[in-house]
Structure 1
Amino acid sequence: MEFDKLKEIIAEVLSVDPNEITLETTFVDDLGADSLDIFSILEEVDDAFNIETEIEDADKIVTVGDALEQIKKAIG
């Protein structure tokens, strides 16, 4: 469920097909996201899951799978 919501957010922010997003998809290399895009995605994720991503945790997010792990950790 979290993965589907995450894909929806990424697809909306980056205007990409959600069906092309996998856990291994990288934000920068595969999706062409820049730091502002990633910040926007994390903002949407924080709102959608009612969590708060720490800046130092955000720096570790390279793939969609990394982002999903952060969400799961934050929501317990």
Structure 2
Amino acid sequence: MSVEEIFQTMSELVAEQFAMEPAEVTMDTSFEEDLGADSVDLVDLVMAMEEEFEVGEIQEEDLKTLKTVGDAVNYIASKVKS
């Protein structure tokens, strides 16, 4: 799965969760600053990511590094076998 494919899927997940259009989501979109995500939103999104990409449970210390959509895409890309 390419980074572009992961981004497409991530943008759809983010758009669905935050009631916006996938086209509005960029790699630089910040979960907290741009989307106003709180911890509950992030847990829901992470659960959707785990299920969608079949990466297993994302560890809490890894979660703290995921500040933008791009961070999440790169994290998933490092976990998904191409």
Given the two structures, how large is their TM-score scaled by the length of structure 2? 0.87
- In the alignment, structure 2 segments of 5+ residues that lack a partner are none
TM-superposed deviation, 1:55: 1.1
Aligned residues: 76
**Hey, what's the Cα distance between the residues in 2 that align with 1:22 and 1:69?**
13
Q: Which of 32, 36, 40 is the aligned partner of 1:32?
A: 36
Cα-to-partner distance string for 1:14-48 (whole Å, 9 max, x where unaligned): 11121111001100110111111011111001000
- In the alignment, structure 1 segments of 5+ residues that lack a partner are none
**Hey, what's the Cα distance between the residues in 1 that align with 2:35 and 2:21?**
10
What stretches of structure 1 move > 6 A for 4+ residues in a row?
none
For the pair shown, the structure with the greater C-alpha radius of gyration is 2
Identity %: 33
Q: Which of 6, 9, 16 is the aligned partner of 2:10?
A: 6
Given the two structures, how large is their TM-score scaled by the length of structure 1? 0.94
Indicate the structure whose relative CO is greater, using CA pairs within 8 Å and at least 6 residues apart: 2
Residue 66 of structure 2 aligns to a residue in which SS? coil
* Cα root mean square deviation, aligned: 0.9
